[in-house]
A and B are shown apart, each in its own frame.
Chain A
Amino acid sequence: MKKVNALILTGFGLNCDNETAHAFELAGAKSQKIHINALVSGKIKLEDFHILAFGGGFSWGDDHGAGVIQALKLKDHIGSDLLSFVAQGKLIIGICNGFQALVNLGLLPGLDNDYTKRTVSVTFNDCGNFRDQWVHLTANLQSPCVFTKDIQMADYPVRHGEGKFIADREVVDTLLANNQVVFKYADIQGIPAKGAFPLNPNGSMEDIAGICDPTGRIFGLMPHPEAYNHFTNHPDWTRKAQLLKREGKILDQEMTIGIKLFKNGIDYIKDSFF
């Protein structure tokens, strides 16, 4: 059977390539880790892939703004390839440092069909520090985002020092109106955090944790779905397993909500391209 090809960027301090590739594989794709310079040199062609993943890490050490130099390098060398990739209706996901790169490239939020303009920013956390914690996310069911289809809520970890989503009020209102706000930080019931720390870990406007472009095919988020690739990743798994055991049940060890997100992308490609 034909496989969906996912390209996971590596190199220059990116560091979630392994588990992101693993997550795509678990979700049914064929994933390849490709060094940024292999795309720059033309050794590898972007057009041979269906999904492009900008993963987490510290590209260029996060110096001069997280994701900034990565975005500039890609724009300079493969900017037009990226735009035609988008135009072909293929998928792009940016996670953490990848999300930061996407907003600096202008691929997000992609308002008015302009995929080169920087209109939003992901900047230093209000708490003043890097922070690793699990967050509850509530998904916007009206969002066109193809990755979050049938996902209402999800728990993923955040691990960043620059995750605060900000933009001009009008831009944020437009994103909300267009249902481009995909994930919001929330409490355990799924009610948005309304800025309360640590439910909203970074002070993001409107509790925004992830956005998509108007087509829903480009998606960026600060939390790490690939870090929830196995049931034992969840911080409460031992307690949940024990409580279920007392009811004579066992903890679901099948697909996590992290892998489900990648599978949605793969299913979309299968429906649209195969």
Chain B
Amino acid sequence: MICCIEIALKKELRDAEGTALIKKADSYFGINIQEARCINIVTIESDLDHLQRGVVKDEILTNPVTQVSSLKPLNIGFHWCVWIGFRPGVKDNPGATAMEAVTDHLGKNFGPDEGIYTSKRYCLKGDTLVRKDVEKLASELLSNTIIQQFKIFSIDEWNKDIGADVKPAKVILDHTPCFEVINIESDEQLAKISDERSLALNPRDIPVIRDYFLDSKVIESRKKVGLSEPTDLELEYISQARSDHCNHNTFQGIFRYKDASNNEEVVENSLFKTYIQEPTLKLKDKKDWVVSVLWDNAGVGRFDGENNYVVTGETHNSPSNMEAYGGAITGIVGVYRDPMGTGLGSKLFMGSFGYCVGDINYNGPLKPPLHPRRLLDGVIEGVKDGGNKSGVPTTFGQTLFNPGYMGKSLVFVTALGIMPNQVKGKPSHEKKTSPGELIIMSGGRVGKDGIHGVTASSESYSENTPAGHVQIGDPYTQKKMHDFLLICRDEGLIPFITDNGGGGLSSSIGESAMISNGCVVFLDRVPLKYEGLDMWEIWISESQERMTIAVKPENLDRFMELSAEHEVESTVIGEYTDTGKLHIKYEDETCAYVDMDLLDKGFPSWEFDATWLSPETRGLTEPVISSPSDFNKLLLSMLERPNLSSKEWIIRQYDHEVQGGSVIKPLVGVKHNIPSDASVTRPVLTSSKGLAFSQSLLPWYSKIDAYHMMACTIDEAVRRVMAVGGNFNHIGGLDNFCWPNIGFDPKKNPDGTFKAAQLVRACRALKEACEKYEIPLLSGKDSMYVDGHLVGEFGERVKVSALETVQFSATSVIDDISKCVTMDPKVSGDLVYVLGVTTNELGASEYYEAFDKTGLNVPHVDFDKFKVVYKAVQTAIENELVASCHAVGRGGLGVHLSYMAMAGGLGLEINLKDLPMNESRGSLLSETLLFSESAGRFIVTVSPENKNFFEKLFKGMAASCVGFVTDLHDHLKILALNKEILIELSMEELEKAFNKTFGDMI
């Protein structure tokens, strides 16, 4: 029996959701709604009687102080009503918690055909509203057809007895689970099947796969378990394991690199081994704080004598481009499982975000799946719910805009955890599976989620087809699991743990069974969301919120007892063995039986041609722009640019201080509204140590040379942690590559070889930076296909590629947080110093971008020279010589002096003539000095009484006093080289410009 309960806020109360809808309808589409009320609908399919339904309505779902509710449609007036509900199979988190509450309150157990589903309807009033407007709101603002469905009612179409006539969004597959045997009689045949089944097998892998299954010994051993040719499940397993996502084929691939300008020709055998692994392993030997790198779900560094920290980062680009909220929440909740599955498991203590999206005011002809504005809204909200509900502070984050990201936007999510360095006397960063241990799956259930990614999106829908390829993360279920697993860890119940992410059980069990050298798995024991999944689907489903754990049989009872107390579902689904076989069964039948070392059977490396054309060869030159005459106006217009203006509205939606360890927040200054260089957090509340964390994204420089993009990005991330008091001897790195397709194709990807060369060059810079600054890469990931094919005005499809992008994160452990520094000038009379040389480096700068120019003079990093300054900055901060410190970044000195003035709320008087500068890369005019983005620079304020100490410390380095802080006025005054006033702007003018673009967003 189905019933619907409708709940709404009392009429006299402000409907914040309705108000937000009115505002967005107006600002996004110019649609005028006079009144909007939101009604929550809870649809219950169960055998509850009328009385019980009343109890559910009144005692669980209705707040008597604020809400009204009814078992019939509520009578709330409208001109138009829009109903929005999930498609079947989409994770309905409030539906699940309602079932939990009903079960607990009424003692009712829900059978397989029963369930609770949530949906919403919006009652809109507006004299001028027409159906077309309402359809636009329903499809482009209120719902996403990938995961949701909507119905629109005019007042005339509304039946007040049946209302929106909501049906349970349940999945009915009506399918008997089975597995198939695949014909592999020829390479062509297997290639055809690979296409048909979206296996994405690389053509060069196909002969290797056939050779294996046609080997007489293999045939012999498979016969014993009743198998002959490969099963679909076995091919799915190989496909997953060989995918670029799991196997990093690009970074393990062979690159034939050619530099046309100097005839250099080299073969790079593995970017990963040469540029990431080798320098990192050398540094691991040199630096005793590096605990574990390059093999686990995240890297591990020492925090203090008792604790280690864990760090990793991910991107979740493609799903977020289809369904921004679902993609982003799945991304953040997903990356939070990595530290939980590192070593014996760590406790999450912070996260961060990085968003790269197209122009949010784009009104051209191209049609991305989601408009950048809507995409950004959804991504922000997804990370908000995912992060906040995980109870993990989001202490750092950046958002940037570039038209290339309309092809594919980037969503970076980063996670840090902390764990005791020993568990029951054993190192916590070591883990292994052993024969005889049970394989346990904990957390969520398995559905058709994430199977074959977006290929599923082209399948046709029926009313009960699961829309599982785009997922919605469930931080509530995961938080329960997080708390539960940490207790198990501390009781010594976990010898091995890993998360289920890409590839699902196929990856988590496939990889963990290599340690014990075998396993037997019973897929019929895996708890499912709904019946009817084939074996291969259970095996590779990417359903979220699951961990795979090894538990010794003698510890099973205690493990299950804790699991029950925490209301986390845990199931024994198999056993680790040492048979050398991956053995998968469903009831009594074997559906996979392959050798654990199958993946070492000589699968070929991927190969790429990489041809570098220098910027000069490509015809890049410096643009011809004469000196501006109105620098005040120019600086204000720079501060209004989306990439430089305030994004306070995003940061404030994220809880950045839960767990109580906030030391330096993401926003600083007298008004708490200027982005900090880095965040500092105390993961251990009883310790005076802190973890400094920063990130950088400077993709614009890739327009000239990705080598310098990489060098500058790392340099900036390092400078940012140094600016808050970081320790140069302990800087951990995390590289997240997002690259457009590098595989050459004369039609589909004609510049593939150039993009491949850009990748090689970025890797070379990565190695150089890591060696010079001594940064081990604690973790890193790559996402290799950031391109989109967007439909244009005439039905054409235009390929739009993102800039070659790397997000680099830096971690550092600060011994004494009471020495930390923020960027705001604090005391009138303090001296302003600029450290580091300004040269003519406007190439790909924000200044040139303001004139739609690229230029040539991309900033260069002189690692050897810079690091001397960075060490001196550390000494200055440790000796409490500086009152404020800030790393100069995008927009140059003009913009960053403005940030400092606003942060301090005090006047600044600056003489450009006193800057450390040189003309080695071209002449220096006022605009060059103000907006050049030369790397390696800081702005520092120093008390006059520390002047001598400070100058002595920086003797011989590029460091000059360029002005002072004052409270006689609140202006930013900058004098030109000829000492004339170049800029004089009041705090009010600066703040107005800085907040103009996004300041009214909350």
Contacts and interface: CB of A to CB of B under 8 A. Distances in A.
Residue in A129, A157, A229 with the greatest tally of chain B CB atoms within 10 Å = A129
Interface string B1-42: 000000001000110110110000000000000000000000
B723 to A, nearest CB: 12
A13 B476 contact: yes
A245 B59 CA distance: 57
A161 B657 CA distance: 15
A132 B61 contact: no
Contact of A19 (B66, B93, B475, B660): B660
Contact of B93 (A63, A131, A229): A63
A15 B479 contact: yes
B437 interface: no
Given A76-B104, A131-B653, A238-B822, A18 B17 contact: no
A41 B656 CA distance: 34
Contacts of B14: 126, 203
Contacts of B656: 132
Interface string B661-684: 111110010101000000000100
B388 A23 contact: no
Given A15-B391, A68-B63, A131-B653, A243 B826 contact: yes
B821 interface: yes
Contacts of A60: 97, 100-101, 476
A63 B480 CA distance: 15
B827 A243 contact: yes
A175 interface: no
Contact of B479 (A13, A76, A132): A13
Given A19-B660, A130-B388, A61 B476 contact: yes
Given A72-B105, A126-B16, A235-B665, A64 B94 contact: yes
Interface string A222-253: 00101101111101101101110110000001
A166 B565 CA distance: 35
A129 B660 contact: no
Contacts of B880: 245
Contact of B104 (A73, A118, A129, A239): A73
A166 B13 contact: yes
Interface in B313-327: none
A183 interface: no
Contacts of B660: 16, 18-19, 22-23, 224, 226-227, 229-230, 233
Interface string B60-73: 11011111000000
B668 A56 contact: no
Interface in B92-112: 93-94, 97-98, 100-101, 104-105
Nearest to A104: B63
A65 B820 CA distance: 40
A133 B656 CA distance: 9
Contacts of B612: none
B663 A232 contact: yes
A38 interface: yes
A148 interface: no
B730 interface: no
Interface in A245-264: 245-246, 253
Contacts of A69: 60, 97, 100-101
Interface residues of A, number: 69
A178 interface: no
Interface string A47-87: 00000000011101111110011001100100000000000
B479 A233 contact: no
B820 A133 contact: no
A118 to B, nearest CB: 6
A95 to B, nearest CB: 11
B94 A235 contact: no
A124 B16 contact: yes
A131 B104 CA distance: 32
Interface string B562-590: 00011100000000000000000000000
Contacts of A58: 388-389, 391, 475-476, 479
Nearest to B1001: A129
B625 interface: no
B652 interface: yes
A61 B20 contact: no
B653 A11 contact: no
A13 B480 contact: yes
B968 interface: no
A32 interface: no
Interface in A119-138: 119-121, 123-134
Contact of A123 (B64, B66, B101, B657): B66
Contacts of A131: 652-653, 1002
A246 B654 CA distance: 35
A43 to B, nearest CB: 8
A203 B13 CA distance: 12
Residue in A119, A120, A239 with the greatest tally of chain B CB atoms within 10 Å = A239
B247 interface: no
B817 interface: yes
Residue in A69, A126, A224 with the greatest tally of chain B CB atoms within 10 Å = A69
A215 interface: no
B455 to A, nearest CB: 31
Given A58-B476, A239-B670, A239-B822, A159 B657 contact: yes
A139 B654 CA distance: 27
Given A61-B389, A132-B655, A133-B652, A12 B59 contact: no
A118 B67 CA distance: 12
B758 to A, nearest CB: 38
A132 B101 contact: no
Contact of B567 (A10, A12, A120, A121): A12
B60 A72 contact: yes
B120 interface: no
B672 A235 contact: yes
Interface string B918-945: 0000000000000000000000000100
A38 B565 contact: yes
Nearest to B12: A166
A233 to B, nearest CB: 6
B85 to A, nearest CB: 16
A246 B661 CA distance: 27
A19 B389 CA distance: 16
B165 interface: no
B229 to A, nearest CB: 47
Nearest to A238: B822
Contacts of A224: 657, 660
Interface in A100-153: 104, 118-121, 123-134
A167 interface: yes
Contacts of A124: 16-17
B184 interface: no
Given A10-B483, A235-B668, A239-B670, A120 B17 contact: no
A234 to B, nearest CB: 9
B657 A239 contact: no
A183 to B, nearest CB: 18
B413 to A, nearest CB: 18
A129 B653 contact: yes
A-B complex: 5 closest residue pairs judged by Cβ atoms: A15-B391, A19-B660, A61-B476, A121-B65, A63-B94
21 contacts: A11-B567, A13-B389, A15-B479, A15-B659, A35-B566, A56-B658, A58-B476, A60-B97, A72-B104, A121-B66, A127-B16, A128-B20, A131-B653, A131-B1002, A133-B672, A166-B65, A238-B821, A239-B824, A241-B818, A246-B943, A253-B818
Interface of B: 9, 13-14, 16-17, 19-20, 59-61, 63-67, 93-94, 97-98, 100-101, 104-105, 384, 388-391, 475-476, 479-480, 483, 565-567, 651-665, 668, 670, 672, 682, 685-686, 690, 817-818, 820-822, 824, 826-827, 880, 883, 943, 1002
Given A104-B63, A123-B13, A224-B657, 13 more contacts: A11-B566, A13-B476, A56-B658, A58-B476, A61-B93, A63-B98, A69-B97, A124-B17, A128-B16, A130-B388, A133-B652, A134-B672, A235-B672
